[in-house]
């Protein structure tokens, strides 16, 4: 019988270097190799990460899910639910159309800041369990200029998908501030528009569907760099922007129409014009026709009034009030909001014109002192009344708390 030391047949570790060494017929395996093999098996046994593992939801189901997180915006939710359904129906049934090739349903969202553009896209991606990333159009430039190449958008998506190309190729990309790359003038310049029309041109191949070489770590491309090829044919692009000033463009078009609205411009609520937005208005605003053509779905989000902001505070699944109640609960503190306190915060949000996004900042200002003073103390209850909110919002240095 051999007296040679026993070691793992896979990694070569000796019996003294491992916790467990299991003997086989002709060899041994250690606990380290067993754990690695188990990880490999779990990865290999995962459902196909491609389109086959995607569960298609009906438009009504998508809309119902959006209703749980987004207040109002009925038209936008219906439109985007249909667009997403058609996009992934096309992806899951590539041969259903026979010789007819169905184009992508990229979506353009128009709406003021804080109306829910990003939240709609993020909620749908989470529901469908597909990779999702957000890109800011304002930092994109043409290749060769200081800034980020357009391909960096796909680098982010690839990173979210854990560098699984097949998963990334069925994800959703939300490009925010798309209006900021609009051409500033109808007169073409002899010099390049680094952050405007040139970026729109560079975005075209991503939106249409093409094989794009992407640097896995982001940054600029260089000849010796390893690149990953991603096909954007099945990536859904949702672009959003405030398009400040487009109301005047829409108003001029409507008032010129022989069957349009002949009211004087000072009698028309500018917020209502977004519902009449058309591709022609986007072209006048400064987007090139080729880019507009890549967005067959165009919809709008209404500005949030006081009633909608009040609902946002309490009704959605991820409502701000529920979030802060949970935060205080972790410290053993019971947080309650009086109706008058919520009304005050809504009034401030309307005053600042920051939409739903402004509610979070106001809530932080009101509760900042409480979040600093109460954890670890004797107080275990806090009620936010109007007087409490006014006092702490106007002077966040004051530490007096109204405890119920």
Per-residue pLDDT of the chain (404 residues; tens, 9 = 90+): 456 778 888 888 888 888 888 888 888 899 989 988 888 887 666 544 444 456 788 999 999 999 999 888 899 999 999 999 988 888 887 655 456 777 888 999 998 888 888 889 889 988 888 889 988 888 776 544 444 677 888 888 888 888 888 889 889 999 988 888 887 655 444 444 544 677 888 888 888 888 888 877 655 555 556 788 899 988 999 999 888 888 888 888 887 544 444 444 444 555 567 888 899 999 999 898 999 998 999 999 888 888 888 998 988 888 899 999 999 999 999 999 999 999 999 998 888 877 788 888 899 999 998 899 888 888 889 999 999 998 888 764 344 333 33
Rounded distance, CA 344 to CA 394, Å?
12
Give the per-residue pLDDT at 343.
92
DSSP one-letter string for 334-389:
EEEE-HHHHHHHHHHHHHHT-HHHHHHHHHHHHHHHHHHHSTTSS--EEEE-HHHH
- Tokens 């019996």 belong to 15
**Packing angle, helices 320-330 and 306-314, rounded to 10:** 30
**Angle, vertex CA 54, rays to CA 218 and CA 226, nearest 5:** 20
* Burial of residue 111 (number of CB atoms within 10 Å: 0-12, 13-18, 19+): buried
pLDDT score for 337: 92
- Structure-block tokens of residue 235: 């990536």
CATH number of 51-300: 3.40.50.300
What is the gyration radius of the CA atoms in the chain, in angstroms? Answer: 27
In the chain, what are the domain boundaries? 1-45, 51-300, 306-394
Both tokens assigned to 29: 């395996």
Q: Which of 320, 349, 275, 248 is nearest to 111 (CA)?
A: 275
pLDDT at 55: 75
Instruction: Cite the beta strand spans of 177-226 per DSSP E.
Output: 211-214
pLDDT (0 to 100) of residue 272: 66
Answer whether 51-300 and 306-394 agree in fold.
Answer: no
Cα separation, 258 vs 253, whole angstroms? 10
How many other C-beta atoms can be found within 10 angstroms of the C-beta atom of residue 104? 23
Query: Would you state the pLDDT for residue 98?
Result: 58
Domain 306-394 belongs to what architecture? Orthogonal Bundle (1.10)
Question: What was the pLDDT predicted at 148?
Answer: 62
């Amino acid at each position: 019988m051999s007296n040679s030391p026993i070691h793992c047949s896979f990694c070569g570790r000796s019996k003294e270097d491992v916790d467990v060494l299991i003997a086989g017929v002709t060899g041994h395996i250690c606990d380290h190799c067993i754990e690695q093999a188990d990880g490999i098996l779990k990865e290999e046994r995962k459902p196909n990460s491609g389109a086959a593992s995607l569960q298609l939801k009906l438009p009504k189901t998508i809309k119902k899910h959006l209703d749980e997180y987004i207040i109002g915006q009925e038209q936008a939710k219906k439109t985007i639910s249909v667009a997403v359904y058609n996009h992934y129906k096309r992806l899951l049934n590539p041969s259903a159309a026979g010789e007819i090739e169905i184009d992508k349903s990229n979506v353009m969202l128009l709406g003021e800041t804080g109306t829910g553009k990003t939240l709609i896209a993020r909620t749908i991606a989470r529901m469908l369990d597909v990779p999702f990333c957000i890109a800011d159009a304002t930092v994109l430039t043409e290749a060769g200029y200081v800034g980020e190449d357009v391909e960096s958008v796909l680098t982010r998506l690839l990173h979210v998908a854990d560098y699984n190309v097949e998963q990334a190729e069925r994800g959703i990309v939300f490009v925010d501030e798309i209006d900021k790359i609009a051409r500033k003038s109808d007169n073409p310049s002899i010099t390049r528009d680094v952050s405007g029309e040139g970026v729109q041109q560079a975005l075209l191949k991503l939106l249409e569907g093409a094989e794009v070489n992407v640097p896995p770590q982001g940054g600029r491309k260089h000849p010796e760099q390893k690149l990953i090829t991603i096909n954007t044919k099945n990536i859904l692009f949702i672009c959003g922007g405030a398009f400040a000033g487009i109301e005047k463009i829409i108003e001029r078009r409507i008032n010129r129409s022989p069957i349009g609205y002949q009211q004087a411009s000072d009698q028309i609520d500018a917020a209502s014009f977004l519902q009449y937005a058309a591709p022609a208005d986007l072209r006048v605003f400064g987007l090139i026709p080729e880019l507009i053509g890549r967005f067959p779905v165009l919809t709008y989000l209404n500005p949030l009034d006081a009633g909608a902001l009040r609902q946002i505070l309490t009704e959605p699944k991820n409502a701000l009030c529920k979030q802060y109640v949970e935060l205080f609960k972790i410290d053993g503190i019971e947080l309650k909001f009086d109706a008058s306190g919520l009304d005050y915060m809504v009034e401030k949000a309307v005053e600042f014109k920051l939409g739903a996004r402004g509610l979070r900042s106001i809530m932080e200002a009101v509760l900042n002192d409480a979040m600093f003073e109460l954890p670890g103390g004797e107080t275990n209850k806090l009620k936010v009344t109007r007087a409490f909110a006014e006092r702490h919002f106007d002077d966040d240095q004051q530490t007096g708390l109204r405890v119920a």
